[in-house]
Amino acid sequence: MIQPPVGGPVVEATEADRNGWHYRRSLASRVTLLTTMAVGLAVAFVSLGAYVTVRVQLEDSLDRQLVERANSAARYDVLARITDELNLPSWALGAADVRILFLRQDNFSWKLDEDPIFQLGRSELDVARGNSDQSIRTIAFGDDDYRVVAVPTNIDGIALIIAQPLDEQERLLSRLGIVTLLFGGLGVLAAGIAGWAVARNGLRPVRNLTTAVEGIARTEELSPIAVEGDDEIARLAAAFNGMLIALDASRERQRRLVADAGHELRTPLTSLRTNIDLLTQADATPGGPVLAPESRAELLEDIRAQIDELTTLIGDLTELSRAEPVSPVVELVELGEVLDHAATRVRRRAPGVTFDVAAEPWWLVGEAASLERALTNVLDNAAKWSPSGGTVTARLAEGVLTVDDEGPGIAEDDRPHVFERFWRAEDARTMPGSGLGLSIVAQVAERHSGRVEVGTSPAGGTRLTLTLPGSGAADA
């Protein structure tokens, strides 16, 4: 059980808590441990295979020698006859460490009771009776093991048995086991040391990269990381550098957005404060000067205009802060209807400007609200620069919206900047607006896989061209 805080509930340990101890180990220790285990298993299998192979080969070689010697001796029946005629015990014959015995088929006890060494059984008796061609097996007697071979002789009913002790073979296998175990242990130890060295040296670039990233997280200085070589670690460091560049650019854009937004908000807020202070002072001074109704109405209208400007600015900032792509849950939009709605709204704002709007049906999958906001900004911009009594011309054909005004136009040097946030031309500093309208148009166009361009209208004013992919039919 995991001990909870005082007064907290008892939390049952999960399987990951019980079995995740290895995840708390360092990568170097895990590499060392896994290398040691892998080499240890390999050494164990090789050693076991070598030991079994040597044991089988020794036993097979011994069996072949014993069978050859037994068959060679069985062709001569002199020993059997001498043993039978002299009534010698079967264990009395031998050569060096080899024992030679004769077994009769009428030995129904299946063993030689008079033999102080061996206890034979059915396998040898079947050879004496002619039921088997030969018998090879290991007999344990006391603390000793014997390899026993039985073959038939030329005398019916008698089998020749040769037995050789396995002491020498077992000593050889014992020494082989000790040597294998010793060298196997040394191999595992060497593998552990090699694994530790490989992990330590091989993971040094990882440690350096980790130190550099931790330093960046601690100091928040987005300085690039040194890239060495061209391996996977170098690619990871290069990827980190790319991420740092993107993060630095994002932070710079955020800083500029906050600074520009603060600058743009300061003007209407200052105007609001001034107007409200004038109204407060006029109402709070008994017997003092009284504001004329026309002046009061003018101040209130100015306050309302400043509040509208603040509302527009805050809405533009909210719209511009949306960096995510269009939501997958979108709808089929007819761009001509959106253009009509936007033109209706702008006509109410600019009654002194004539709007000439013509649109062909154009369907696209997108976000109707943001598209209407973008088209409204385009028409607002054209109306703002058009002179009183001027005409704004809007044409939509084949997914291309062209809006022309009769204003002074945009200088060639200023055109690359018109879609930047808060940018204004020198002659537009005193005009109302947040400097975000065309930035929103560019962002909406990009989010709908389109583009927006600025040029010169036939009347010498500004031409804005908005291109959006789609289709002329709703079911296309």
Spans of all domains in the chain: 69-169, 232-317, 326-467
In what side-by-side order are the strands of the sheet with 144-152?
Answer: 93-95, 98-104, 158-165, 144-152, 135-141
On whether the CB atoms of residues 79 and 100 are closer than 8 A, the answer is: yes
On whether the CB atoms of residues 195 and 31 are closer than 8 A, the answer is: yes
Tens of pLDDT, residues 160-212: 888 888 888 888 888 888 888 888 888 888 888 888 887 777 777 777 888 88
Q: Helix, strand or coil for residue 3? A: coil
CATH code reported for the domain at 232-317: 1.10.287.130
pLDDT number for residue 236: 84
pLDDT number for residue 63: 86
Name 418's bridge partners.
Answer: none
The reported pTM is 0.44
Name the fold adopted by 69-169: Beta-Lactamase (3.30.450)
Q: Which residue has the higher pLDDT, 155 or 23?
A: 155
Backbone φ and ψ for 448, nearest 5 degrees, come out as: -105, 20
On whether the CB atoms of residues 159 and 153 are closer than 8 A, the answer is: yes
Q: What is the DSSP string of 59-88?
A: HHHHHHHHHHHHHHHHT--HHHHHHHHTT-
Q: What is the DSSP string of 421-452?
A: TT---GGGTTSSS-S-HHHHHHHHHHHTT-EE
Residue listed under structure tokens 């909210």: 318
pLDDT number for residue 425: 58
Other C-beta atoms lying within 10 Å of the C-beta of residue 312: 17
Backbone φ and ψ for 133, nearest 5 degrees, come out as: -75, -35
Q: For 326-467, which CATH superfamily applies?
A: Histidine kinase-like ATPase, C-terminal domain (3.30.565.10)
Kindly tell me if the per-residue pLDDT of 273 is higher than 60.
yes
Question: Among residues 318, 335, 356, which one has the least CA distance to residue 400?
Answer: 335
Tens of pLDDT, residues 202-247: 777 777 888 888 888 888 788 888 887 777 778 888 888 888 888 8
